[in-house]
Amino acid sequence: MTVESTTARTPRGASTERGSAAGDGAPAKKAPASKAPGKKTAVAKSAGPAGKKAAGPAAKKSAGPAAKKTAPKTAAKKTAAKKAPARTSAAGSPRPTAHAEAPASAAEGGQLIQLLTPEGERISDPAYDAYVDAITPEELRGLYRDMLLTRRFDAEATALQRQGELGLWASLLGQEAAQIGSGRALRDDDYVFPTYREHGVAWCRGVDPANLLGMFRGVNHGGWDPNSNNFHLYTIVIGSQTLHATGYAMGVAKDGADSAVIAYFGDGASSQGDVAEAFTFSAVYNAPVVFFCQNNQWAISEPTEKQTRVPLYQRARGFGFPGVRVDGNDVLACLAVTRAALEHARNGEGPMLVEAFTYRMGAHTTSDDPTKYRADEEREAWEAKDPLLRLRSYLLAEGFADESFFGELETESEALGKRVREVVRSMPEPDRLAIFENVYADGHALVDEERAQFRAYQASFADAPASGEGE
């Protein structure tokens, strides 16, 4: 269902009237009402996937790293059609095929795709229902478990930073649905390029939460092998990972692989030149990449209204590919929309932009104080749309879970928090002289001199190791 995005800000001095961007979802005929139990059908302003029927998602089971309960991870059923390669001219310059329309319900003036209301009521969207209609109660419980444990891990990391155990932490509080929904839409062979806040997506890809903390404690540069989980290392430079993802996706297309790439970034990064360049290259080369923008309303202290005069998803039209806005606090809608976008990319139809309209409930990082630039009333309004509360209400209303299930999760949550604390506090201190290694392949006299000076400096402290080699 499409609903009005009432929390979207209107830029000062900007007209509230917006014409439809070219191809941003033409008015559609009403689809027949869905008869799935526990779901109401609304009159939706949406169209089914252009030129094809949406395939129901495969019910492949997957689990978070801490236990074996399942949650949906696979994308919609693969189509038999192979990806259409980009045509090239005699000079070898790309001539991409025309981008097909995506199944976009959210086409006009700030509307967004929603399948679960903030009250936990299941509503219908004919364009996207097929991507989640086959979801089982076990998979729904798995989605809730993913969000709850990710939130607990995030809260534990924030507390550890406040206690001096981490140098910094970027919280995902409030964005769990966007990350878990999109993360569980991925197939194992898809590749993820995150920013520094995608802790929920890392969880879905099987990255141990403890491995995320080494970088923030300063003991490594990222404690996992990206190729073992198809999850790239965190990217601190704002927006640059969209270029990495685009290049990787271009390689995937040239290899003829039946997989897709997804790049995560925020509303602030959408103003970066790297993102614009990634949009240009991905469109021209018809790259199988999904750009997943978590619009949490604030680029540190800058509101979205100071970055754009139109909804962010509409920017895609200027680059020649479709964009769509989804309720980023609705895990079912995020799952469905991301499955559709990944299917769009795998089918050779080029890139797609997904704007997950959500809210950053906490600070930008632990070095930030959001009370300096935003009102408490704004946060309180978004608390009523909490992604965990709405899914919990739905599970209870449909009889898919009971209080014993939630009690067991609380016990598991406590165990995860304890493990995270123990792992962080037991991390070995890095060798302080390691910064001089691998500067030159064959060594260098100046580096050797600097190393010796630093060793002597470290040895001058009373509590330094006798060798000065680190601790």
Q: Is 285 a catalytic residue?
A: no
Q: Is 444 a catalytic residue?
A: no
Q: What is the 3-state secondary structure (H, E, C) of 396-413?
A: HHCCCCCHHHHHHHHHHH
Catalytic residue, chosen from 364, 390, 392, 455, is 364
Q: Is 360 a catalytic residue?
A: yes
Catalytic residue, chosen from 325, 339, 360, 392, is 360
Residues 6+ apart with CB under 8 A from 363: 171, 369, 370
**Distance between CA 297 and CA 303 in Å, rounded?**
6
Q: Does residue 323 sit in helix, strand or coil? A: strand
**Angle at 240 (CA atoms; ends 239, 244), nearest 5 degrees:** 130
Is 96:286 a contact under the CB 8 Å cutoff? yes
Looking at the DSSP bridge assignments, the partners of residue 266 are: 294
**Distance between CA 370 and CA 108 in Å, rounded?**
31
**Distance between CA 461 and CA 153 in Å, rounded?**
36
- The alpha carbon of 268 is separated from its chain's Cα centroid by a whole number of angstroms, namely 14
**Distance between CA 240 and CA 193 in Å, rounded?**
10
Give φ, ψ of 313 to 5 degrees.
-65, -25
**Distance between CA 321 and CA 67 in Å, rounded?**
39
H helix intervals, 137-262: 137-162, 176-183, 199-204, 209-217, 226-229, 240-255
**Distance between CA 420 and CA 414 in Å, rounded?**
10
Is 428:219 a contact under the CB 8 Å cutoff? yes
Looking at the DSSP bridge assignments, the partners of residue 62 are: 71
**Distance between CA 221 and CA 215 in Å, rounded?**
5
**In the structure encoding, which two tokens stand for residue 110, read together?**
């700030």
Give φ, ψ of 350 to 5 degrees.
90, -170
Catalytic residue, chosen from 9, 95, 162, 373, is 373
Is 342:190 a contact under the CB 8 Å cutoff? yes
**In the structure encoding, which two tokens stand for residue 300, read together?**
């540190």
Residues 6+ apart with CB under 8 A from 411: none
Q: Does residue 87 sit in helix, strand or coil? A: strand
Among the listed residues 361, 355, 381, 392, the one whose alpha carbon sits nearest the alpha carbon of residue 141: 392
**Exposed/middle/buried for residue 411 (C-beta within 10 Å: 0-12, 13-18, 19+):** exposed
Catalytic annotation, residues:
360, 364, 373
